[in-house]
Structure 1
């Protein structure tokens, strides 16, 4: 059970807040029964603006929101209205981006093990195609043709450490070109008509320390200078991808202004010396952009007293599997009981035929009863996107707390008809 969040004693006096009061939440639940996700649109937009302000020193800076983290068009539309692009990795994500009106350099297509259909769709949208491997050059040419602008994904073939911990092990990394292959790839692409080039390199991995991002950006910038010199090109942009994390526990959130300052110091030091200070920087942030501004809401269905006390929810980890899949702690609020003493200890579970179907172990809450509501914080990214249908369990609804304070459904809950829809077999109705 090492991947489970263990207890909440150290977080008894949490400052994490839910943007809706209990009475309003009850009204929402009366219309949209639990379980559901709800996202705070105003907070998301404010975070986007803060990011752009922090990087305003870099002409051409742009955030390409990672569609995979929150693949809902209502979320994507907010990013579009705030002048962001989108980072897509599959055919369906490209279709979603197209449906929201993204096209051309609004789309960064960062894929791997890519199909011809995906390359053809990306090319038809004039997306920036970010190649993952030297062999993909001929493959792209044969199925879609080589565009004038091509980005290449770099594997710097090293191990990134921070405070004696390995953060990124590029020597066991499935993504990207080696530096030599990157240079040879540019040479080959030139013969096939490409004239403009971008460099993509993942520089983070759910870290929040500003110095860490400055150090890693410096490494990427040095590689960019080497490649530009050896390949005889001037890069159009550097895409630092993602990796800025969020605080699941009550510690300091990432200081985006400080992160930007450290990246700027590395930018000026390395790219400035090389005369490349007009180079735009791109990011492909996901969890940093929406993670803290989404919530998973579920109700207590049963309280079971056996070897331990179990709270059985009306949702299972198929709906919200992050507490099971990752080692992240998720703070939980007992709605309407925020001022009560958390003097009871519970394992919080779902209904899957799987003992690891637990949202939390030995979690301290006030005394709970069937019908009480739990709110899981920091559930705005890589949550609904990871949901699944094991045991025939269905995915929940998604709601949006709009900037005007209203709430609307932006994805309905699945039905049994949805679950059976792809079967070529006559299924009885209820």
Structure 2
């Protein structure tokens, strides 16, 4: 059973200061998780986590992660600017973008970020944009086809379809890109790939690592390029459903180490640094959406209406994603009522849960919608004039701090031209 990281008593005190709805983050959990990740990869001296800014673009969260040794993975001009304002610079920034405007490459290079090229045509585009190729460069690989990992010991199968993804280069293009970049003056090379998302398997990262390690050895032999880092990107998931097992980052790190020693070390590549970009794994379980019940409706189904909506958490409406819900104070009561939990948007997909078995819910109850710490607030929008909610940080001593205020109608009107 999923347990909130905050008690009803704590939450009642928090909502006196911060009106619902709001996203709440657990600083203690975030820091402990970051430390567990670094411990799991401590065998690799150059290891670094580049947190995916798009997952949770809050300056206070980014500063916490910076204190824990993380860099940032940016994919737009604004994300680069946010990383800069939070004190990240140089090789602490990874810039992975696609269909990239020239101005974004300019800023990435100005900040000293490592640029990760998404397409073979971007080699010359970058050269023409900057007038040169940076000494340190990376390329994104897409193996095509379908990536399948058989049922793991946890019983879940990993499958995704890289061949349908718009990202990355083919295997022959990787060789061509490395040769061309070397001709243009690049000296340090990196490889990046992302094959499957939100995997609940300790086997995914080691399997991905083995694919990239073998390709790295081949690319070194084919091109003579000095490969200094391999970025395993994201894909390590979190158990959104209570019956799913959590990944064990220590086992994952050991699996990658084994592949490293079997493949890279014998090829004389034991100096390669390992990077990760784990937005969801780093933050999702350490954030929740707190909302209050406003209405109940009984027609052909039983509906519970809350003061949050898809503008505060898009994933259920957009993807049909499951997010567990705790009715605070009723954790031990039987889940003997079937509800659709809905928001106020003029869209029928504005539902946080459909046919969900929950305890009897009463108007005024506080609900915690779990695992919103990544791709939660970040995907907010203003449809129907619904405004983005506040973000609140629960600190290790139990106190809270507002880390983003809720939007106001004036924010909504600010960009409109009235005359």
TM band (smaller chain): over 0.9
Matched, 1:422 2:418: no
Does the Cα contact within 8 Å between 1:203 and 1:241 map onto a contact in 2? Answer: no
Task: Give the aligned partner of residue 39 of structure 2.
Answer: 53
Paired residue for 1:177, among 162, 166, 169? Answer: 169
Paired residue for 2:249, among 240, 246, 256? Answer: 256
Q: CA deviation at 1:176?
A: 1.1
Paired residue for 1:348, among 336, 341, 346? Answer: 341
Task: Give the aligned partner of residue 63 of structure 2.
Answer: 77
- Work out the CA distance in 1 between the residues paired with 2:122 and 2:82: 24
SS of the residue corresponding to residue 347 of structure 1 reads: strand
Matched length? 412
- Work out the CA distance in 2 between the residues paired with 1:114 and 1:122: 11
Distance 1:142 1:187, change over 3 A: same
Paired residue for 1:97, among 83, 88, 91? Answer: 83
Does the Cα contact within 8 Å between 1:208 and 1:255 map onto a contact in 2? Answer: no
- Work out the CA distance in 2 between the residues paired with 1:212 and 1:29: 40
SS of the residue corresponding to residue 219 of structure 2 reads: helix
Matched, 1:88 2:88: no
Distance 1:309 1:89, change over 3 A: same
Matched, 1:157 2:157: no
Task: Give the aligned partner of residue 204 of structure 2.
Answer: 212
Matched, 1:107 2:100: no
Task: Give the aligned partner of residue 396 of structure 1.
Answer: 389
Structure 2: unaligned runs, 5 residues or longer: 152-156
- Work out the CA distance in 2 between the residues paired with 1:234 and 1:86: 24
Q: CA deviation at 1:182?
A: 1.7
- Work out the CA distance in 2 between the residues paired with 1:342 and 1:171: 42
- Work out the CA distance in 1 between the residues paired with 2:234 and 2:158: 17
Runs of 4+, deviation exceeding 3 Å: none
Structure 1 stretch displaced more, 315-324 or 233-242: 315-324
Task: Give the aligned partner of residue 5 of structure 1.
Answer: none
- Work out the CA distance in 2 between the residues paired with 1:157 and 1:367: 48
Structure 1 stretch displaced more, 155-164 or 246-255: 155-164
Structure 1 stretch displaced more, 135-144 or 104-113: 135-144
Task: Give the aligned partner of residue 222 of structure 1.
Answer: 214
- Work out the CA distance in 1 between the residues paired with 2:150 and 2:180: 40
SS of the residue corresponding to residue 356 of structure 1 reads: coil
Q: How does 1:7-406 map to 2 (within 5 A)?
A: 14=1, 16-144=2-130, 145-163=132-150, 167-250=159-242, 251-406=244-399
Question: What is the TM-score of this pair, normalised by structure 2?
Answer: 0.95
